[in-house]
Structure 1
Amino acid sequence: MGEKHIILPRLVPSKLSHRQQLCGHRSVSEISGVVDETLGKRPLDGQNDILRYRVFTSTWNVGGMTPSSDLDLEDWMDSTANSYDIYVLGFQEIVPLNARNVLGPRNSCISTKWNSLIGEALNKRRRRGSVLHQEITNSSATERSAQEEHFRCIMNKQMVGIFMSVWVRSNLRPYIHHLNVSCVGSGIMGYLGNKGSVSIRFVLHETSFCFVCCHLASGGKQGDVLLRNFDAADILVRTRFPGGATQELPKKILDHDQVVLLGDLNYRISLEEAETRLLVEDKNWSILLENDQLLIEFSTGRHFDGWQEGLITFSPTYKYHPNSDQYYWCFDGALGKKKRAPAWCDRILWRGKGLKQIQYDTCNYRLSDHRPVRAVFHAECVIRGDADCACGCIALSSSSE
């Protein structure tokens, strides 16, 4: 499937403009009054200014487990660092995938609870700052700015067990437009929502983003990989967004400037289960990754042409015994059908000019039989030469050199 490009208006060049006051957080360039030299010399276009933001993305299959009200998500989202501008969080199986949940009315109570926990983790620092501000009467303008700043949920969407939530810094919200969502069910009968995708897109300044949260076909039998490939291709074909009445907007996933696809993609390891388990015990990731179904698809070029994935240096993310660091097959009492060989089911892929992955890892939350996987990106956004700079960041222009 060929990649289309958006025709953007010619932007007016402007010189590098240092803002008088910077907001109390770090932007993607880690700005603290000085432009990071390694990041500030990569303009998208000879005529365009760019801003760089840090985008945190993560996928987590929570296995139908309801979170406790005191579940602390700060470690997962690395929110104490206060260094990210956008958070995109994708879940699978926030409810059990039984007939009642698949065929019945949507149960939004659990997604609301997850969103509440996310908001608490992201804005806990702000609440602490507000208390501190009450104690300090002569705080500086920068401190007050940090205290007043908070994260807002600009969109969240649930389809059966798939749930995606997007949060941005409050002072970035005015620069986001054409926010839309599209859902594709690819489960039972090829259309029900026990499998499929939730996609959220928006345009930030002049750059379009699309985030796709997927749950593809499961199974470790021979031929199941073809079902996953079909699901992925079907999602790319069937996902549609409105094109816009006054300007040309991307209608399909691959039409967007920058795309991140995350989720329980369910690709397994093409080895006998006994051999896979021995290699996992030895932490022999290299041989396991040579037989990873998704990486094989990458290498053959049959699917995922143009997509990229960061280097995997972490343990397989599935299948753990809940509330344990041991894989399920290690337990003698585990049911036979659940003693599945470990695999890197949970992945984050990306594509697009101006998008650069700088982190790819997992974290040790034991709630479900999957571990969450995280990726951090530097995202370059085109801005109009005469536009005000969002969040007090520094605009970088090739004409300034």
Structure 2
Amino acid sequence: MSTPGMETMEQNDNEGDNFRLHLVTWNVATADPPVDISSLLHLESPKGPDVYVFGFQEVYSGPLRFMSDVVFDDPWSHCLMTTLAPWNYVKVSSIRMQGLLLLFFSKLEHLPFIRDIQATYTRTGIFGYWGNKGGVSIRLSFYGHMLCFLNCHLSAHMNNATERMIEFEYITDMQIFNCEKAQRILDHRLVFWFGDLNFRIQDHGMHFVRTCISDQNYSLLWSKDQLIMLKKKEKLLQEFEEGPLHFQPTYKFDLNTDLYDSSKKRKPAWTDRILWRLIPKALSSDKQEECGDRSDANNVGQPEEAKKSILELSQDLYTSDMQYRISDHKPVIGIFTLKLKKMQTTPLVHLLAEGEWSADIDAMLVYFPKQPFPSSSWDWIGLYKVGFSSVFDYITYTWVKDDEVAVDEEAIKVYMSKDEIPVRGGECVLGYYCNTLQCIIGISEPFKVHASKVAIEEGLVPEKLRSLH
């Protein structure tokens, strides 16, 4: 006999897969990352996130630092990549506009199903000419569903609520993507909007606001929160949802303390927010879903019922993390369960390393196109160490078209020079990067690259590992 509710649970499992999304927004006030960011990441939770999205505002962008960040990873990106890589998370995409930074990380297993990645930005500071305010966004196809993430830093000060709304509408109108059915942010099936939105608590006096916070009576302040007030009259805002503000206002704190502003005595406010907008299935055509990766591969070989997509979202956590004191803002975390029916279940290519690999001999790899995809002469295959931190964190790469050595109807062999293979060896994977889709569309199983004879003879390989080679 089945237990009550078991039948419903089994039916739900058959209807779609659940993915955990972990979003963080934080105005870091030009500070570098703290030594320990583990509290932000919830890595020790029983089921780790499938996707991390980080939106930062006021990342330090002084002239010398900004120039170095163009060449090297900025401190925040480097910190997160270093922390998440050992847990098998890869930085898939990022975009920076002056102090605004948006980062998207995924578990390695999802990488071949995150396609058609595009990123853009819009300036709104100083009449649209300065990037201290505005929005940066990343859009992509996740298992065939179109998602967009928008990180904003809007105008400050109590009296600019209307200006903030104008800026938001301007950003959503101006950002254009190369996708016929989802050219703008609001064309996407699911949009996350977050950042330092700068909405304040108006009318209530300082004493009342601080008393409510001290007594944890946050609900008494909601009716005068500018964003909540605007939602009552702005149709666009009514399409967005937000969890209840059951955490204390995240702005403005004295640095290195948990005390609200003691100098200028500015009123605390929930300036840092995470909202979302999900277009109901009835309003989203099948054609929109097919736009995900600008190829006919989205639905090739898929049964007709798979095209009728399921996409549901629920919020599991909405809170701030009070332990961080490097900024006058506290970070805000939103954790979501995304339920969807996969419209893509097979990578576009299957990759494997042929024969034994070492720096002593030229190597050969084989890839098998599993579905049609928009290949080009700019496609490449990268050799990565297991535990790589980003799509471009490869040891070396080979151009697919330039280095083809054999082609048949099912398999294509590509050459890689021994001079490019690491002499010390190690556990590696291969990844096929499709330039048109701006993503990795296939990853091999891990395989052993043996240390070269020269490396062993010269003692470059630890003695305990030599027997393995």
What is the TM-score of this pair, normalised by structure 1? 0.71
Q: CA deviation at 1:286?
A: 1.6
**1:35-74: CA deviations, max 9, x gaps?**
996596288xxxxx63221111110000111225xx1111
Alpha-carbon separation, structure 1, partners of 2:37 and 2:125: 30
Q: CA deviation at 1:303?
A: 4.3
Residue 105 of structure 2 aligns with which residue?
Answer: 167
Q: CA deviation at 1:284?
A: 2.7
Aligned runs of 1:2-401 on 2, under 5 Å?
41=12, 50-68=16-34, 71-81=35-45, 82-95=47-60, 107-108=69-70, 112-124=74-86, 126=87, 150-220=88-158, 222=159, 224-243=160-179, 248-271=180-203, 272-329=205-262, 334=263, 336=264, 339-352=265-278, 353=280, 354-364=312-322, 365-384=324-343, 387-388=345-346
- Cα RMSD, aligned residues only: 2.7
Residue 365 of structure 2 aligns with which residue?
Answer: none
Letter in 2 for 1:281: S
**1:79-131: CA deviations, max 9, x gaps?**
222521000010000116x7x699x868448962211211232234x4xxxxx
Letter in 1 for 2:271: C
Letter in 2 for 1:41: N
Alpha-carbon separation, structure 1, partners of 2:147 and 2:236: 21
Cα pair 1:164 1:198 within 8 Å, conserved: yes
Alpha-carbon separation, structure 1, partners of 2:16 and 2:69: 41
Cα pair 1:206 1:381 within 8 Å, conserved: no
Alpha-carbon separation, structure 2, partners of 1:357 and 1:317: 19
Cα pair 2:198 2:271 within 8 Å, conserved: yes
Cα pair 2:254 2:260 within 8 Å, conserved: yes
Alpha-carbon spacing, 1:56–1:282, altered in 2? closer, same or farther (3 Å): same
Alpha-carbon spacing, 1:260–1:123, altered in 2? closer, same or farther (3 Å): same
Residue 136 of structure 1 aligns with which residue?
Answer: none
Alpha-carbon separation, structure 2, partners of 1:80 and 1:168: 16
Q: CA deviation at 1:298?
A: 1.4
Alpha-carbon spacing, 1:163–1:36, altered in 2? closer, same or farther (3 Å): farther
Alpha-carbon separation, structure 2, partners of 1:169 and 1:377: 16
What SS is found at the alignment partner of 1:115? helix
Q: Give the structure with the larger strand fraction.
A: 2
Structure exhibiting the larger radius of gyration computed from Cα positions = 2
What SS is found at the alignment partner of 1:193? strand
Alpha-carbon separation, structure 1, partners of 2:48 and 2:11: 17
Q: What is the percentage of aligned positions where both structures have the same residue?
A: 30
What is the TM-score of this pair, normalised by structure 2? 0.61
Alpha-carbon spacing, 1:283–1:110, altered in 2? closer, same or farther (3 Å): farther
What SS is found at the alignment partner of 2:31? coil
Cα pair 1:111 1:163 within 8 Å, conserved: no
> How many corresponding residue pairs?
308
Pick 1 or 2: higher relative contact order, CA cutoff 8 A, min separation 6.
1
Cα pair 2:134 2:152 within 8 Å, conserved: yes
Cα pair 1:297 1:303 within 8 Å, conserved: no
Letter in 2 for 1:254: L
Unaligned runs of 5+ in 1: 1-34, 44-48, 127-149, 391-401
Cα pair 2:199 2:271 within 8 Å, conserved: yes
Alpha-carbon separation, structure 1, partners of 2:331 and 2:38: 13
Letter in 2 for 1:119: M
Cα pair 2:230 2:237 within 8 Å, conserved: yes
What SS is found at the alignment partner of 1:194? strand
Letter in 2 for 1:279: C
Alpha-carbon separation, structure 2, partners of 1:388 and 1:87: 23
Alpha-carbon spacing, 1:313–1:389, altered in 2? closer, same or farther (3 Å): farther
Letter in 2 for 1:351: R
Q: CA deviation at 1:188?
A: 1.1
Alpha-carbon spacing, 1:185–1:325, altered in 2? closer, same or farther (3 Å): same
Q: CA deviation at 1:300?
A: 2.6
